[in-house]
A and B are shown apart, each in its own frame.
Chain A
Amino acid sequence: MKEKVLVFEAGKCIGCRICEQWCSLHHFGVAGPALSRITIVRDHPTQIDNGIICHQCADAPCIASCKFGALKREETSGAIIVDLEKCNGCRRCIRACPHGAIRMHPEEKYVLICDLCGGNPQCVRHCPEQAVQYLERGKAERPYRSALVRGLAVRGECDE
């Protein structure tokens, strides 16, 4: 099977943040957005909800940035896996990530990076709007291109 990646479409997101709750519950057994690897940000003036997610970069800058060998790619899913023992919370990878998709655990000394839930991402499974999809890397650009054509990606411009 070809490697798959997460794809987010702001034009479809309505800001319910159900994805955040399932992410945190799946990984930690508790519900709280600060423990979620996916984050939805609502920009109130433009009324746009956008998702901050790991894009599973083909050549991951987070791995390259880590000086402690704490990050590695998981063979089958291609997800980034954090070695909790090696990670010391230096936050270099947070700055290296071009998508802003890495966060510190709010209480521990390690970072939270999407692990694709072992190939069955809970955010994708539970999004009521299909705003997050799990697609082959070679097909990942298609929803974004379609949205561009539909004009949804520039919706915010209607607010003068």
Chain B
Amino acid sequence: MNNNDNLLDFFGDVVRVNLSTGDISRENLPLDAVRRFIGGRGLGAWYLYNEVGPDVDPLGPENKLIFMNGPLVGTLLPAGNKINLTFKSPLSRSYSYSLCGGHWGPELRFAGCTGLIIEGKAESPVYLWIDDGAIELRPAAGLWGKTIPETEKRLRDELGGDELLQIACIGPAGEKLNKMACITAGWYREFGRGGCGAVMGSKNLKAITVRGTGAVRFHDAAGVMELSESITAGLKIHPKILDRRNFGTPELLKSINDNGLLCTRNFSETHFEEGHRLEGPRMREDIVVGDASCFACPVGCGKRSYVKTADGTGILLEGPEFETIALLGTNCGISDWESLMEATRICDAYGMDTMNAGGCVSLAMECFEKGIISLEDTGGIELRFGNGKALVAVLRLMAERKGIGDILAEGIKYASERFKAPELGMHSKGQALAAYDPRGCKGMALTYATSPKGAHHMIATTMGPEIAGGTRLSYENKGALQKEHQLSMCAVDSLGICSTVRGGFGMGDQAKAFSLTTGMELDIDGLKLAAERIINLERMYNARLGFSRKDDTLPKRITHEPVPSGPSAGEVLDLERMLDEYYGCMGWEIDDGLPSRVKLVALGIEDIVKEQDCR
């Protein structure tokens, strides 16, 4: 076999399923694109740019769901489990991608698919059954309307009770085209933000079930084993990783709250006075009953939690994660585990992103407290900050699209405009802000404002070094910091490893892992260059839709309202100054925030981005 054959064998095929015609075909992975964009998020960007044009309706049959594994997914390298999904978002109406951990992506790889592209729209509900090389669409009318756990149980029964096959599905939220609907894999791992569940629902596709009995072959198996062992040994003694293991993502909460950047009551404050009740160690003591890991991850940051509810029943689930605790909890003024667990259960069962859901409820709560909406609008719910029962009731309405829930299900931007209070909708490009208030941590302003998918935190998690370095309130060099972190996140998203392990699995080892697994030479500079290509291609996808500097915005509350109290008291945010510096660092034009033709040529992607799409 020549080198290309080896590579194609290593990666596996791309399977293309057209739901309109029922056609299922296999194609080779485009190796030229792999060389330039690595895989995962990178290849997703390449496919979406080439195949989903600017006029495509996000909920129309022309939109595509492009699932793409990175080269390290399904290997034994630590946390090689993150599969990327790229699509045009019905929430932000822009470029979007989402990554899912767990075991579904690796299973797809073992079934011989590195990628899966879903196109068109089925006439009636169907699910896709990938059993190694045997791939078929099956009727799913009986599953329509069922929650995530019910869907998983029924599918497993139908497919012979095999607990080892992996299922990704949508719940009723996705079916009802809820703009914050997610796609859930293995009950508790989601392609979360951007409304991909609604895209799947619009295609009448209920689930994708996968069973793979194949294996991943390596260019240098001994080298991969040695590298895995050394990275794992480092992770086991890394203090930050140990915190993550013990307390999950909620280990973050204390420092985010103590430093005054924790979203509180719809970002009207940045420090939650009851935050101590929700800190990681407190959660471990109060509700955690066990730990859970995604595929090949030695960290195990997943926390299995249990509460006994007032009605005598219990709730057992994996979670809640930090962002869930923040957006559904602190941002709604809520600090009791029972409400939070019930709220999480509703989102998990119906398939809604907890973050956008929390952003919407906190918006409605502020509108209610200010008299902008009334008891009549809420259907009698006392929608005040701190009212856990009201949170649960409204989430149910959102999930079922009833009453005020039907408005909130359209997303935070739509709802805030509908309430005639756009200034209270805490979003960028329609995506709800994550937990970190940029007034208390300046770098996160660039993360939210310049992200191609709206205010998403995992574009660049600069809050870590900003807090550790004591520079959270400074504007100095935040553009450069932003670029560095965007590249680092883009690299792991494209390779298919979880960002959690970056501390002990840095870019040097990542490049080495790519070379050892594929046999293609790559060093740190090459990895950074690929990441920069991807970020620029994503930027150009949005540019083709008309996005530019004018859309890199933050809510007025962040740029004009000083933080009223706490560790960040008095702070506002000067976004324009930060954008100038960041665009400079990225080599983008200052006036419109877009890469020039010269920049695209320098990156080697000028053949992909057509002349007419450029300034």
**Chain A residues engaging chain B, CB cutoff 8 angstroms:** 14-18, 21-22, 24-25, 28-35, 39, 41-47, 49, 106, 126, 128-129, 155, 158-160
Contact = CB atoms under 8 A, between A and B. Distances in A.
Contacts of B294: 16
Nearest to B164: A41
A24 B224 CA distance: 13
Interface in B204-239: 212-218, 221, 224-225, 229, 232, 236
A35 B215 CA distance: 8
Contacts of B316: 46-47, 158-159
Contacts of A16: 293-298, 300
Nearest to A21: B76
Contacts of A159: 306, 314, 316
B215 A28 contact: yes
Interface stretch (B284-292, B332-340, B457-465, B506-514): B284-292
A31 B292 contact: no
Contacts of A31: 74-76, 215-216, 218
5 contacts: A29-B217, A29-B221, A34-B214, A47-B318, A159-B314
Given A16-B296, A16-B298, A45-B149, A128 B232 contact: yes
Nearest to B211: A34
Count chain A CB atoms within 10 A of each CB in B163, B290, B297 and give the residue with the most. Answer: B290
Contact of A47 (B76, B216, B292): B292
Contacts of B212: 32, 34
Given A34-B212, A42-B186, A44-B187, 12 more contacts: A14-B302, A17-B103, A17-B295, A18-B296, A21-B75, A25-B225, A31-B74, A33-B110, A45-B153, A47-B317, A49-B292, A106-B213
A106 B214 CA distance: 8
Interface of chain A, main secondary structure: mixed
B76 A18 contact: yes
Given A17-B296, A25-B76, A47 B290 contact: yes
Given A16-B298, A25-B76, A129-B300, A160 B215 contact: no
Which 9 pairs, one residue from A and one from B, show the smallest C-beta to C-beta distance? A32-B215, A34-B213, A21-B76, A16-B293, A30-B215, A128-B298, A106-B213, A14-B293, A14-B300
A22 B76 contact: yes
B217 A30 contact: yes
B612 interface: no
Contacts of A126: 229, 232
A125 B489 CA distance: 31
B4 interface: no
B292 A34 contact: no
Contacts of B437: none
B164 A39 contact: yes
A109 to B, nearest CB: 15
B342 interface: no
Nearest to B294: A16
Nearest to B297: A16
B314 A158 contact: yes
A82 to B, nearest CB: 19
Contacts of A33: 110, 164
A24 B300 CA distance: 22
Interface string B185-201: 01100000000000000
Count chain B CB atoms within 10 A of each CB in A14, A24, A159 and give the residue with the most. Answer: A14
A102 to B, nearest CB: 15
Contacts of A34: 110, 212-215
Interface string B127-159: 000000000000000000000010011000000
A30 B215 CA distance: 6
Contact of A24 (B103, B215, B232, B318): B215
B222 to A, nearest CB: 9
Nearest to A22: B76
B2 interface: no
A14 B294 CA distance: 9
Nearest to B314: A160
Contact of A128 (B218, B236, B318): B236
A33 B225 CA distance: 16
Count chain A CB atoms within 10 A of each CB in B110, B152, B293, B313 and give the residue with the most. Answer: B293
A32 B296 CA distance: 11
A43 B163 contact: yes
B93 to A, nearest CB: 34
Interface in B269-308: 289-298, 300, 302, 304, 306
Contacts of A158: 289, 306, 314, 316
